[in-house]
Every structure is written in C-alpha cells, then in structure tokens.
Amino acid sequence: MEALFIFGVILKRVLSGIQPSGSLHLGNYFGMMSRMINYQEKNDLFCFIVNYHALTTIKEKELLKENTLQAAIDFFSLGLDPEKSTFWIQSDVPQVCESTWLLSNVINVGLLDRATSYKDKLSKGISANVGLYSYPILMASDILLFGGEIVPVGKDQKQHMEMTRDIAERFNQTYGKVFIVPEPDIDKKTHLIPGLDGQKMSKSYNNTIPIFGPEKALRKRFMSIVTDSADIDEPKSVESPIFHLYSLFLSEKDQLELKERFIKPGLRYGDLKNELYECFWEYFKPYREKRDYLMNHKDYVIKCLEGGANKASSVADEYLSSARSAMGLNYKG
C-alpha cells in the first residue's frame, strides 16, 4: 500500500472517526479535536465524520444533514487542513459498508453481545436495531479499510478497539494478511475536563461550554460555573472547575503562576470567571472568524470534503480489492 514519506521518514497513519453530534464544546475540543489536529503536523492523518454510525441514533434527516456539515465546518475552522490531511464524510466512501459485511464473517455474535456500549443503550431502554448491534463492525471497517495504524479515541472506545484488533487478527489468520492491526491511543486527559458543575463535561450532563455561539450566552455559561463559598480574603480552591478550565489555555509556567494566584487570598471567583471568559474569547477568536467565513462559503467546504473522499476512496479500493481476492470473491480468476 502506498505510504506517505516526508524527508525520507514514513509517516504513521493516524485515523479517527467523529460523531456528528451538534454543537461542539470545550471538552470535545481539548479532549479530542486539538489532539487530532496536532497529529496532522507529523503524521498522515485520516479523519472522518461518522454519519453512518449516527444513523443508529439520529432519526431526523434534516438534523443529520445539518450536524454532518456543521461538524465538518467546525473541524476546518479549528485548524484541520485539507491539504495536510485526508478528511471526509463517512458516507461518501460507501466501500466501508461492503467491508463491514466481509468482516462480519469473522466475528462471533458472542463478542457483539458483550459490547458494553450496546448493553448500556439497551439498559437505558433505547430499542436496539441491528445497526446499533453491528456498530463495532462498522467501526472496525472504518479503521481497517484505510490502513489506520494509530487510533486516537476516548476511554469509552477501548472495547471497540479491542474488537477491531480481534477482527483484523482473525481475518488475517483465516485469509492471509490483508489488514494492519491498529494500536489505540487512548486519551487520559478527557476526564479531567470539568463541566459547569464540576463533573466531566458532557452533553448528557447538560454542563457544557460550547465553543461557538452568541457572546452573551457564552459569558453567561462561564458565570454559572460552580464554586465554593470562599471569601475574597481566603485562598481559592485549585480543585475548582475554574482552575482546571483556565489551565487548559495556559502553558505549564502560566499554570503555576495561576496556582499561586489562587492560593493567595485577595481574589474573587467572579473576577476569575470573567478573566477565564476573556481568555477563552481571545483564544477562539481566529477560529470564530474562520468559521464565519466558511459558513458563508459552503461550496468551498463541500469541495474540500469531495477531495478528501477521493483520496480516502482510493485507499479503500486497494484494501477492499485485497480482501475480496483473499476471500475468494474474485471468481473470474
């Protein structure tokens, strides 16, 4: 398979899929997106919006369409460079569905029955369609069909990654080596990103701080971060979500300085929230401007996505053709 060389070094293919789940928040950005975007500098980054996967939960067509394009615009706004990486919408490379079928023949139902994310959804009363059940095979297909070597994911995806490795190994054992067995790169930091109430920032806890949105509403979110009742003449807690959120924007040296300011009496939480808000607003300023531009130039966004899909498609075709031959589907000889 074709490999990307830069200055004689073979770049590792880093690959990940992202759910089109609506407005992005700070937890998404610092937990995953900024990490992905940094990968594009020194690796061969493959990244896509998983709208096939989203079908398992989103049933309104307009919502899915809007969230898909929005997710792409957000990625481009936050620095994903279509020249440096391969970025596409999952359903623009439908070969991934064919390989899902091929791969489903090397995985036993017992393994899927044990998938915790599927079991969790069942226990929440979400009725399980077959799509939800076979979600992990589609995910394995996403990774194997594009030769992903390193897969940055959150902790919740650990089991899906084990299944992917298992599927690749079984396929290779049964039919001869076709697929790369990928390594997960599990993020250890995400759980440290607190939401407004101090729990992990997550849509399901309704405690998020969106990255983009009207200034007034965003400021209000920051003002509602929970604090203890320490007075101006008392030290402020470095366990406060204000401290953790502020630290995300700072260098190590500046974090230490912030810590000293927190420990020394004389500060008010209200002032710190304002300061944090200003820092946030400045940090995302260039991204906001880029996003305003892209929102008004959707044709350009779609062109970038088509370019990405073409690049991804040619990689998929190679792997798919090897898998088809290995399995005996090329009956013409």
Query: Within its chain, how far is the Cα of 66 from the centroid?
Result: 18
Cβ pair 88, 305 in contact under 8 A: yes
Among the candidate windows 81-89, 97-105, 107-115, 137-145, which touches ligand TRP by CB under 6 A?
137-145
**How many chain residues are in contact with ligand TRP, going by CB under 6 A?**
12
Cα–Cα distance for residue pair 217/23, rounded to 1 Å: 14
Work out the angle at residue 19's Cα, subtended by the Cα atoms of residues 246 and 324, and round it to the nearest 5 degrees: 140
35-47 exposure pattern, b = at least 16 Cβ within 10 A, e = fewer = bbbebbeebbbbb
Residue 33, interface with ligand TRP (CB under 6 A)? no
Name the minimum Å distance from CB 149 to ligand TRP. 12
Return the residues of window 38-57 that contact ligand TRP according to CB under 6 A: 50, 53
Stretch that binds ligand TRP, among 2-10, 11-19, 207-215, 311-319 (CB under 6 A): 11-19
Residues 89-128 vs ligand TRP: string with x where CB under 6 A?
A: ----------------------------------------
Which DSSP letter does residue 330 get?
-
Q: Is 273 a catalytic residue?
A: no
- Contact between 196 and 207 under an 8 Å Cβ cutoff? The reply is yes
Instruction: Say what the alpha-carbon torsion angle 44, 48, 53, 54 is, to the nearest 10 degrees.
Output: 150
Q: How many CB atoms lie within 10 A of CB 160?
A: 21
Single out the catalytic residue among 121, 236, 273, 311.
121
* Binding piece for ligand TRP, criterion CB under 6 A, among 77-85, 151-159, 220-228, 252-260: 151-159
Residue with CB nearest ligand TRP? 17
- If the CB atoms of residues 82 and 136 are measured against ligand TRP, the closer one turns out to be 136
Out of 153, 218, 304, 320, the residue judged to bind ligand TRP by CB under 6 A: 153
203 is catalytic: yes
Beta bridge mates, 151: 184
Chosen residue from 73, 96, 151, 168 binding ligand TRP by CB under 6 A: 151
In what helix (H) or strand (E) does residue 15 lie, and over which residues does it extend?
strand 13-18
The span from the CA of 190 to the CA of 15, in Å, is 18
298 flagged as catalytic: no
Footprint of ligand TRP (CB under 6 A) = 16-17, 19, 50, 53, 139, 142-143, 151, 153, 157, 160
